[in-house]
Structure formats: structure tokens, C-alpha cells
Amino acid sequence: MEIGFIGLGQMGSAMAANLLKAGHVVTVYNRNQSKADGLVAAGAKRAVDAAGACKGQLVFSMLADDAAVEAVTFGERGILAGLGPDGIHVSSSTISVEMAKRLAAAHGEAGQRYLSAPVFGRPEAAAAAKLFVVVAGAPAAVEICRPLLETLGQRVFPIAEQPEAANLVKLSGNFLIFSVIEAVGEAMALVSKAGIDRRAYLDILTSTLFNSPIYATYGALIADRTFEPARFAAPLGSKDLRLALAAANDLEVPMPVASLIHDRFLRLLAGGGDKMDVAALGGMALEDAGL
């Protein structure tokens, strides 16, 4: 199948590589074009702008935020301009519910189709095609994309017909990650100040009731106070939580723990933590206890 792929950061380039490996014809585009070199060497075609990556029926985008998606979609030589009738734009970026609605509306008006297909997983998981993909949009379009999404991940979850539902699931999932960090931070501050070893405590947690990788991964970062280099940077995490709260505001859904964590993100960033991992939220709990 002929596919475009826009956005070749750590996640995007791993995903594009997997599509290529599966035998698809992949045209890639990235604002900073040198990021495409590896993929081109591996057989991908290079486009000079976003529109140029829209020769086939389907184009993926995987970008940092709303602004980047807006630029490659609505820009002069953007996806809207490049994609043919019935063409499908699959957005895997973590963007706002609001932006997903705008994209769906714009592609609809242009006689094109739009899917939101955000993913859970880190760059390693993307490289290993072990992502989890949540997809939402018109069922016919979802069916066309499904084999490709299955190429990218270990499991695909179609969730709703409104594309923005998938973005909301993604944003809420990130909130749940942050809630684990905050709660584990508080619990560790408590036991740690009483003289209990944090690693021994974490071993109990993850061997018993909290045996999911999220607890193990973030618990270890908090126990050891290792917040740099960031794998999931605090400014990105803060942005995601703000988008979740913006959706909550529009839907009139109170989320007191989410709000509490958002204020802690602001404190972290105001204090110079913009190079830190989101795990540093947990470090603040230790610090606030005088540890």
C-alpha cells in the first residue's frame, strides 16, 4: 500500500520503519529533513513538504503538539491540500480534543477522512512494534487502516466513531500515569521518612498488588531520585494534563486529582524543572517531606 508518514521523531521514525519493513511504499516528510535520511536509505521516498507525502490514500502524522499538527495540516503545502478525495489522515499525535474535532471537520469538508490513532508506549515499544493503538473514526476508514495499525502495535482498540474519543482516551491514560507517580511519591515519602528503604518498599508494591510496569518504572525513578535525562519530559506531561483538564472543563467533569497534579507540574516547571522527567513529580513529594 502507498502510505505517507509525517513527523520523524523517535516515535515516528520507528513507526515508519515498521511500515516499510512490512512491505509498504512509504513516503516520508519531516520539517528538519535530515531526520528522514535513515528511512530513505532503507527504501523510503522523500517528500519535500507535507503535501508531497500525501500521494497515496493514507497519510500518518506523528508530531509533538497541536501547533505542529496544525502547521502540517492547514499549511499552504499541507495535508489538506495534498490528500486526494477519500484520502485518510491518521493522526497518532497526542493532541487536544478540540484540535481533533477541527481536523475531522476540515477533512470532512474537503471530502477526505480523518482518524485519531494515538499510541501508548515508548520509543523502544514503537521500534519493537509493541505499541498499543487506540483508534477512533468512521468504521469504514478504521477497517482500511486496521492492518497498518496492527503492523505498528501489539493490539489495536477501536473505541468510537468520533475521532476525538481516541485522543481523550490517550489524555486520560497519561493522567492515570501521573496519578501513579504522585501517589507513589506520597507513599514513598511517608515510609521513607519513617526509615524504610525505598527500594525494599517498591519491591513489596510491585510484587503484590501493583504489579504493572508503570509502578515498577516510575517507582524506581522516584526511589532513586533519577529525574534526568527525561524519557517523558515534564513540559510534555504538563501539556497533556492541561489538555485533559481543558476537555474536562468543556464536558463539565470535575477532576480534583488531575487539578492537583497540574498545579504540581506548574510548580515543577516554575522551579526550573523543564529538563526533568515527569517522575520528578514524585520527587517533589520527597522534598516536601524534608527528605
Q: Which residues are catalytic?
A: 170
Pairing of strands 119-120, 131-136: antiparallel
Q: Is 128 in the site for a second copy (CB under 8 A)?
A: no
Q: Which is nearer to a second copy, 46 or 101 (CB)?
A: 101
Q: Is 152 in the site for a second copy (CB under 8 A)?
A: no
Rule CB under 8 A: choose which of 15, 262, 279, 280 binds a second copy: 262
Q: Which is nearer to a second copy, 41 or 251 (CB)?
A: 251
Q: Which is nearer to a second copy, 85 or 254 (CB)?
A: 254
**141, HSE (Cβ side, Cα atoms, 13 Å):** 26
Q: Is 139 in the site for a second copy (CB under 8 A)?
A: no
Window 184-213: residues binding a second copy (CB under 8 A): 184, 186-187, 189-191, 193-196, 200-201, 203-205, 207-213
Q: What is the C-alpha separation between 44 and 2, in angstroms, rounded?
A: 11
Q: Where are the alpha helices (DSSP H) in the chain?
A: 10-21, 37-41, 66-74, 79-82, 97-109, 123-127, 139-152, 164-193, 198-207, 213-224, 234-251, 256-270, 280-288
Q: Is 35 in the site for a second copy (CB under 8 A)?
A: no
Rule CB under 8 A: choose which of 2, 147, 249, 275 binds a second copy: 249
Q: Which is nearer to a second copy, 59 or 187 (CB)?
A: 187
Window 266-285: residues binding a second copy (CB under 8 A): 266-267, 269-272, 285
With b meaning 16 or more CB within 10 Å and e meaning fewer, what string describes 82-114? Answer: bbeeebbbbbbbbbbbebbbbbbebbeebebbb
Binding mask 159-178 for a second copy (x = CB under 8 A): xx-x-xx--xx--xx-xxx-
Q: Is 256 in the site for a second copy (CB under 8 A)?
A: yes
Quick one: cell of 249?
472543563
Q: Is 254 in the site for a second copy (CB under 8 A)?
A: yes
Q: What is the C-alpha separation between 179 and 246, in angstroms, rounded?
A: 17
Quick one: cell of 116?
485519531
Q: Is 257 in the site for a second copy (CB under 8 A)?
A: yes
Q: Which is nearer to a second copy, 41 or 270 (CB)?
A: 270
- Shortest CA distance to 178 belongs to which of 272, 280, 269, 252? 280
Q: Is 263 in the site for a second copy (CB under 8 A)?
A: yes
Q: What's the min distance (Å) between Cβ of 230 and a second copy?
A: 17
Query: Backbone dihedral region of 81: left (phi > 0), alpha (psi from -120 to 50 degrees) or beta?
Result: alpha
Cα Rg of the chain (Å, integer): 20
Q: Is 151 in the site for a second copy (CB under 8 A)?
A: no
Q: Which is nearer to a second copy, 24 or 198 (CB)?
A: 198
Q: What's the min distance (Å) between Cβ of 39 and a second copy?
A: 27
DSSP assigned state of 279? T
Q: Is 74 in the site for a second copy (CB under 8 A)?
A: no
